[in-house]
Amino acid sequence: MKIALDAMGGDNAPLETIKGAVAALEEVSELELVLVGKKEVIEAELSKYKYNKEKIEIVDAREIIEMTDEPVVAVKSKKDSSMNRTLELVKDGTVNASVSAGNTGALITASQLKLKRIKGVLRPAIATMFPNKKGHMLMLDVGATADCKPEFLNQYAMMGSKYMEILLGRKNSKVGLLNIGTEEGKGNEVTREAYNLLKENKSINFVGNVESTEVMNGNIDVVVTDGFTGNMVLKTAEGIGKFILDVIKTEVSKSFIYKLGALLLMPALKVVKSKMDSSEYGGAIFLGLNGISIKAHGNSDAVAIKNAIKVAEKFAKLNFVEEMKKVIDIDNIEVEEK
């Protein structure tokens, strides 16, 4: 499998992106990488590492879409950006998938412009894995479409269910609609209408509304929501996780007895840290596009980049896009595509 990496995208690029790329090559024997960005910068970073030079190709791109750039303007004006060039490699079939830790809004825009939506997909969604008591669950959308129509949420549920089947072999996944209460009549107009659509959708296993306090209890496999709410939940969860770990570190440092206890609890604490560490989950995929575009966290370190590349490789190996097309029934699309 050949994966393209936006080597210049992200807060810690190109140091961490290239370090992560080399690490991914060490762990996945059949992997090949195309690093996209300023050639001389990439070559200088690669010179620090030992790796199979036959497994890495460099594509020169002279522009960078910064994290502070206005997404649409940057994508259209910086045509020779590493992000645009990375996605073009997916579009023309040179690579099987792409990874970028760059500007999220720009990546959403560029991915849609370059890869286009699967026929019948109303809106793409960013889907990301969350830890829960029984392993993992999927949440979508977490940032692609802020304002959703009920039909979008209904389609997200179908795509999310297919995702879990393809990636984890989990058939008949339990689908929940994120809401402010579990009762059927709860929520705003969009969620109430979405509830009715989901309840009538025979292709999914809809179990009703789910509150944010319950999404990690292990009883739900797929949680659907609009991109605005989903992004808020994602970042709040990350913030709370970091807060808890920081509090533990601070309190442990205050007492010798606490330090001794922490040593005994170290194996359990490492498991907790791993579950709460976003870098362990690699990246999130844009569901509904004619190509695999993986979004890594903006502040990704080498471990996160490595895992994002491995996620991209797994999606490509499973022929994910073609499998996803099977769940989109274009004859039953009730909302006009725009």
**pLDDT for 313:** 94
Q: What is the DSSP string of 34-71?
A: EEEE-HHHHHHHHTTS---GGGEEEEE--B---TTS-H
Q: Is residue 280's pLDDT more than 60?
A: no
Average per-residue pLDDT for the chain = 89
Residues 49 and 26: beta-carbon distance below 8 Å: no
* Chain segment 325-335, per-residue pLDDT in tens: 888 754 444 44
Q: What is the mean pLDDT of the segment spanning 117-124?
A: 91
User: Which domains does the chain show, CATH number per domain?
Assistant: 1-121+288-338 (3.40.718.10), 125-280 (3.40.718.10)
Task: Check residues 257 and 319 and name the one with the higher pLDDT.
Answer: 319
**286/136 Cα distance (integer angstroms):** 18
Nearest to 64 by CA among 53, 54, 72, 75: 75
**116/119 Cα distance (integer angstroms):** 9
**243/19 Cα distance (integer angstroms):** 28
Q: What is the mean pLDDT of the segment spanning 27-39?
A: 95
**pLDDT for 214:** 87
**pLDDT for 242:** 78
Return phi, psi of residue 275, to 5°. Answer: -65, -30
Q: At what angle do helices 82-91 and 104-115 cross, to 10 degrees?
A: 30
